[in-house]
Chains A and B, each alone.
Chain A
Amino acid sequence: MSKEINGSEIILKSLLDQGVEVIFGYPGGAVLPIYDSLFKQNSIKHVLVRQEGGAVHAAEGYARSSGKIGVVLVTSGPGATNVVTGLTDAMMDSVPIVCITGQVPQHLIGSDAFQECDTTGITRPCTKHNYLVKDVNKLSSVIHEAFVIANNGRPGPVLVDVPKDVQFAKGEYLEPSTISIQKHRLFDPAVKENEERVEEAVKLIANSKKPIFYIGGGCVNSGIKASKLVRDFVKITGAPATMTLMGLGVLPSSSEYSLGMVGMHGMYEANLAMHDCDIMINIGARFDDRVTGRLDAFSPNSKKIHIDIDASNINKAIKVDVPIVGDVETIMQQIMNIWNNKKYSTNADDLNKWWNKIETWKKADCLDFDQTSDMIKPQQAIKRLYELTKDKKTIITTDVGQHQMWTAQYYKFEETNKLITSGGLGTMGYGFPAAIGAQIANPKALVIDIAGDASILMNIQEMSTAVQHKLPVKIFILNNEYMGMVRQWQELLHGGRYSESYTDSLPDFVKLAESFKAKGLRAEKASELDQVIKEMIESDATVIADIMVDKEENCFPMIQSGSAHNEMLLNKNQKQDKLSPEKGKVLV
Chain B
Amino acid sequence: MMNKSDKSVYDSPTAVSDVKRHILTILVDNEPGVLARVVGMISGRGYNIDSLNVAEVSKEHLSRITIVAQGTNEVIEQIQSQLMRIVPVHDVINLQDEGSSVEAEVALVYMYINEENKKQAYQICDFYRARKIENEHNSTIFEIAGASERIDTFIKDISKIVKIKIVRSGPVAISTLNKNEEE
Q: Which residues from B are CB-within-8-Å of A296?
A: 9, 11-13
The residue that A314 contacts in the complex, of B40, B81, B85, B89, with Cβ under 8 A, is: B81
Q: Which residues from B are CB-within-8-Å of A587?
A: 8-10
**Shortest distance in angstroms between A302's beta carbon and chain B's nearest beta carbon?**
14
Q: Which residues from A are CB-within-8-Å of B85?
A: 128, 310, 312
Q: Which residues from A are CB-within-8-Å of B40?
A: 124-125
The residue that A315 contacts in the complex, of B33, B77, B91, B183, with Cβ under 8 A, is: B77
Chain A residue nearest to B79 in the complex (CB) = A312
Q: In the complex the two chains form, what is the Cα distance from A339 to B162 in whole Å?
A: 74
Q: In the complex the two chains form, what is the Cα distance from A129 to B29 in whole Å?
A: 13
Contact of A132 with B81 at beta-carbon distance under 8 Å, contacts A296-B13, A315-B74, A587-B9 already known: no
Q: A121 and B32: CB pair below 8 A?
A: no
**Shortest distance in angstroms between A189's beta carbon and chain B's nearest beta carbon?**
13
Q: Which residues from A are CB-within-8-Å of B16?
A: 319
The answer, yes or no, to whether A289 is at the interface (CB within 8 Å) is yes
Q: In the complex the two chains form, what is the Cα distance from A586 to B77 in whole Å?
A: 28
Contact of A184 with B33 at beta-carbon distance under 8 Å, contacts A295-B9, A315-B77, A319-B16 already known: no
Chain B residue nearest to A311 in the complex (CB) = B81
Q: A311 and B10: CB pair below 8 A?
A: no
Q: B11 and A295: CB pair below 8 A?
A: yes
**Shortest distance in angstroms between B97's beta carbon and chain A's nearest beta carbon?**
15
Q: In the complex the two chains form, what is the Cα distance from A146 to B91 in whole Å?
A: 21
Q: Which residues from B are CB-within-8-Å of A185?
A: 29, 87-88
Interface residues of A in 93-142 (CB under 8 A from B): 120-121, 124-125, 128-130, 132
Q: In the complex the two chains form, what is the Cα distance from A120 to B31 in whole Å?
A: 13
The residue that A562 contacts in the complex, of B9, B29, B78, with Cβ under 8 A, is: B9
**Contact code string B133-145 (vs A, CB < 8 Å = 1, else 0):** 0000000000000
Contact of A312 with B78 at beta-carbon distance under 8 Å, contacts A128-B87, A149-B87 already known: yes
Q: B8 and A586: CB pair below 8 A?
A: yes
Q: B81 and A312: CB pair below 8 A?
A: yes
Q: Which residues from A are CB-within-8-Å of B78?
A: 312, 315-316
Q: Which residues from B are CB-within-8-Å of A182?
A: 29
**Shortest distance in angstroms between A308's beta carbon and chain B's nearest beta carbon?**
11
Q: In the complex the two chains form, what is the Cα distance from A200 to B78 in whole Å?
A: 24
**Shortest distance in angstroms between B83's beta carbon and chain A's nearest beta carbon?**
9
The answer, yes or no, to whether B123 is at the interface (CB within 8 Å) is no
Interface residues of A in 548-566 (CB under 8 A from B): 562
Interface residues of B in 113-165 (CB under 8 A from A): none
Q: Which residues from B are CB-within-8-Å of A124?
A: 33, 36-37, 40
Q: In the complex the two chains form, what is the Cα distance from A48 to B104 in whole Å?
A: 57
Q: A132 and B32: CB pair below 8 A?
A: yes
Chain A residue nearest to B43 in the complex (CB) = A125
The answer, yes or no, to whether A46 is at the interface (CB within 8 Å) is no
Q: B9 and A184: CB pair below 8 A?
A: no
The answer, yes or no, to whether B90 is at the interface (CB within 8 Å) is yes
The answer, yes or no, to whether B49 is at the interface (CB within 8 Å) is no
Q: Which residues from A are CB-within-8-Å of B101?
A: none
Q: In the complex the two chains form, what is the Cα distance from A316 to B9 in whole Å?
A: 15
Contact of A184 with B36 at beta-carbon distance under 8 Å, contacts A316-B78, A586-B8, A587-B10 already known: no
Tally A residues with Cβ within 8 Å of B: 30
The answer, yes or no, to whether B48 is at the interface (CB within 8 Å) is no
Interface residues of B in 80-109 (CB under 8 A from A): 81-82, 84-85, 87-91
Interface residues of A in 298-354 (CB under 8 A from B): 310-312, 314-317, 319
**Contact code string A345-381 (vs B, CB < 8 Å = 1, else 0):** 0000000000000000000000000000000000000
The answer, yes or no, to whether A294 is at the interface (CB within 8 Å) is yes
The answer, yes or no, to whether A583 is at the interface (CB within 8 Å) is yes
Q: In the complex the two chains form, what is the Cα distance from A381 to B19 in whole Å?
A: 54
Q: In the complex the two chains form, what is the Cα distance from A129 to B33 in whole Å?
A: 10
Interface residues of B in 2-21 (CB under 8 A from A): 8-13, 16
The residue that A125 contacts in the complex, of B10, B44, B91, with Cβ under 8 A, is: B44
Q: Which residues from A are CB-within-8-Å of B9?
A: 294-296, 562, 579, 583, 587
Chain B residue nearest to A314 in the complex (CB) = B81
Q: In the complex the two chains form, what is the Cα distance from A363 to B89 in whole Å?
A: 52
Q: Which residues from B are CB-within-8-Å of A583?
A: 9
**Contact code string B50-75 (vs A, CB < 8 Å = 1, else 0):** 00000000000000000000000010
Interface residues of A in 193-224 (CB under 8 A from B): none
The residue that B87 contacts in the complex, of A129, A289, A314, with Cβ under 8 A, is: A129
Q: In the complex the two chains form, what is the Cα distance from A294 to B82 in whole Å?
A: 24
**Shortest distance in angstroms between A92's beta carbon and chain B's nearest beta carbon?**
14
Chain A residue nearest to B9 in the complex (CB) = A562
Q: A312 and B32: CB pair below 8 A?
A: no
Q: Which residues from A are CB-within-8-Å of B84?
A: 311-312
Q: Which residues from A are CB-within-8-Å of B41?
A: 125
Q: Which residues from B are CB-within-8-Å of A294?
A: 9-10
Q: In the complex the two chains form, what is the Cα distance from A516 to B89 in whole Å?
A: 49
Q: Which residues from A are CB-within-8-Å of B74?
A: 315, 319
Q: In the complex the two chains form, what is the Cα distance from A44 to B161 in whole Å?
A: 75
Q: Which residues from B are CB-within-8-Å of A295?
A: 9-13
Q: Which residues from B are CB-within-8-Å of A317?
A: 12
Q: Which residues from B are CB-within-8-Å of A128?
A: 85, 87
**Shortest distance in angstroms between B78's beta carbon and chain A's nearest beta carbon?**
6
Chain A residue nearest to B89 in the complex (CB) = A184
Q: Which residues from B are CB-within-8-Å of A125?
A: 40-41, 44
Contact of A121 with B36 at beta-carbon distance under 8 Å, contacts A295-B10, A315-B77 already known: yes
Q: In the complex the two chains form, what is the Cα distance from A488 to B143 in whole Å?
A: 64
Interface residues of A in 570-588 (CB under 8 A from B): 579, 583, 586-587
**Shortest distance in angstroms between B165's beta carbon and chain A's nearest beta carbon?**
31
Seed contacts A124-B37, A294-B10, A587-B10; 18 additional CB < 8 Å A-B pairs: A124-B36, A128-B87, A132-B32, A149-B87, A182-B29, A185-B29, A294-B9, A295-B10, A295-B12, A295-B13, A296-B11, A296-B12, A296-B13, A312-B81, A315-B78, A319-B74, A562-B9, A583-B9
Give me the 3 closest cross-chain CB pairs, A-B, nearest first: A312-B81, A129-B87, A562-B9
